[in-house]
Amino acid sequence: MNEECARIKNALEQAYDVPFEVNGSIQDGDPLFEIAPENDSQELFRLSVTFKNATRVIINFIPEKYSAPLIKDMSEAPQEKKRLFAQYAGILIKERFAQIDFVINGIKCNPCVFEDWPVEWRDFSCRITRSPVAGDDEEFKLADLTIDWGGIALGMFLSLMNVVPTTTDAPELVTGHTEGKSYQVVSTRYERSLLNRKFCIALKGYTCAICGFDFCSFYGDVGEGFIEVHHIEPVSLMDIEKTINPETDLIPVCSNCHSILHRRTPPYSPEDIISLISGR
């Protein structure tokens, strides 16, 4: 399973710019992957992803031994972060037909209605299940399914946490999913939340929303899992920090359409380019 673990690790690190440890094993005859942000202090969490009889996926959020401060921080996350968590949960429930057992302080809560969650969290658990995990016409690909389901689950949980990019040349960011805040370093940088990007792709897929191009269909395996994401309102033109709604403010686009969108300032609208294509 080493090859599969390496592939999962690489895909998730590219998606979230967070270093992960990925370990695989066989438990009661079924494959099990444990995914955790790299840390030596046991203050974070593990995500276990297992597939029962190659039909049912079970994902568990497992707080580590000294994770009480993390749980406290999650409970104190601002509303925009909790809203993104709820949006991720909505994808899993409404689009993926999964069941989410979301428990705070021993009380089962609706993961999509953050307004009803307890204010203070003493403990927290979450279990995501779906059966069957693949459709009748889909091939059961273990690594791909783990990247897909584990990736969405990670985005959901990370949305309640402070995510710091691993790149050493980036400014200090205590992010969530707010975008557009400028930072003066050597030049002006604009924060683009990877959680928003992942949510957009999870909701809208890897097909260009303008021309319908699909990298995997055209290039094969090398194009699998690749798409660009376009901010309908450019981040660089935001005068103030703005909370992005990935459902309405972001779209997946191919590289060609993305370049054409930005052929002028301010960019063309997606509708402008769709009209150009349809009028040819």
Determine the Cα–Cα distance for residues 39 and 46; give it in Å rounded to an integer: 11
The predicted pLDDT at position 178 comes to: 53
Largest CA distance in the chain: 61
**pLDDT tens digits for 85-112?**
999 999 999 999 999 999 999 999 999 9
Helical residues (DSSP H) of 35-190, grouped into ranges: 68-75, 79-90, 142-158
pLDDT tens, position by position, 247-256: 899 999 999 9
pLDDT given at position 18: 86
What DSSP element (H or E) covers 24? strand 20-27
pLDDT band per the 50, 70, 90 thresholds, residue 191 = very low
Residue-averaged pLDDT of the chain? 86
- Tens of pLDDT along 104-139? 999 999 999 999 999 999 999 999 999 998 766 567
| pLDDT at residue number 175 | 36
Structure letter (DSSP) for residue 224: T
Residue 8's pLDDT is: 95
In the chain, domain spans: 2-158, 182-278
Give the confidence band of 73 by pLDDT, cuts at 50, 70, 90.
Answer: very high
CA distances from 78 to 152, 154, 161, 252, 268 (A): 20, 18, 10, 27, 33
- Single pTM value for the model: 0.78
Confidence tier at 259 by pLDDT (50, 70, 90): very high
Tokens of 43: 């203050």
57 has pLDDT over 80: yes
Residue 273 pLDDT > 80, yes or no? yes
Question: At 244, is the pLDDT very low, low, confident or very high (cuts 50, 70, 90)?
Answer: confident
Please tell me the predicted confidence (pLDDT) of residue 136.
Answer: 61
CA geometry: angle 111, 114, 116, nearest 5 deg: 105
